[in-house]
Amino acid sequence: MKFYSLNKKAPEVSFKDAVINGIAPDRGLYFPESITPLPDTFFSTIESLSNQEIAFLAIHQFVKETIPDEKLREILANVLDFDFPIIEIEDKISTLELFHGPTMAFKDVGARFMANCLGYFSERKKGEVTVLVATSGDTGGAVANGFLGVEGVRVVILYPSGKVSEIQEKQLTTLGQNIAAIEVEGTFDDCQRMVKTAFLDEEITTNRKLTSANSINVARWLPQLFYFLFAYKQAKSKGKEIVFSIPSGNFGNVCAGMVAQKLGMPVRRFIAATNVNDTVPQFMVTGEYEPKPSIATISNAMDVGDPSNFVRIQNLYDNDFSKLSEIFSSYAFDDALTKMTMSKIYKETGYMTDPHGAVGYLGLKKHQKIDSESYGIFLETAHPVKFLDIVEETLHMKPEIPKQIQAVMNKEKVSIKIKSYKELKAYLLSK
Ligand X SMILES: N[C@@H](CCOP(=O)(O)O)C(=O)O
Binding site for ligand X (CB under 6 A): 135-140, 214-215, 249-250, 252, 301, 304, 308
- Least distance from C-beta 27 to ligand X, angstroms? 16
Nearer to ligand X, 192 or 368 (CB): 192
409 close to 170: Cβ distance less than 8 angstroms: yes
Q: Is 103 helix (H, G, I), strand (E, B) or coil?
A: coil
- Least distance from C-beta 48 to ligand X, angstroms? 32
- 203/279 Cα distance (integer angstroms): 33
Q: Write the CA distances from 116 to 15, 144, 149, 283, integer angstroms.
A: 14, 13, 11, 36
- Concatenating the DSSP letter of every residue in 25-87 gives TTSPPEEES--PPPPHHHHHTGGGS-HHHHHHHHHHHHHTTTS-HHHHHHHHHHH--S---EE
CA dihedral 72, 67, 105, 47 (to 10 degrees): -40
- 296/331 Cα distance (integer angstroms): 18
Q: Is 250 helix (H, G, I), strand (E, B) or coil?
A: coil
CA dihedral 165, 353, 109, 228 (to 10 degrees): -150
Nearer to ligand X, 38 or 111 (CB): 111
Nearer to ligand X, 138 or 278 (CB): 138
- 237/412 Cα distance (integer angstroms): 48
Would residue 107 show up in a list of annotated catalytic residues for this protein? yes
**Residues in the chain, overall count:** 431
Q: Write the CA distances from 281 to 275, 323, 410, 414, integer angstroms.
A: 10, 16, 39, 37
Q: Write the CA distances from 182 to 168, 230, 308, 326, 388, integer angstroms.
A: 14, 35, 21, 41, 23
- Least distance from C-beta 304 to ligand X, angstroms? 6
Q: Is 161 helix (H, G, I), strand (E, B) or coil?
A: coil
- Among 16, 107, 163, 386, the one annotated catalytic: 107
Residues marked active site are found at 107
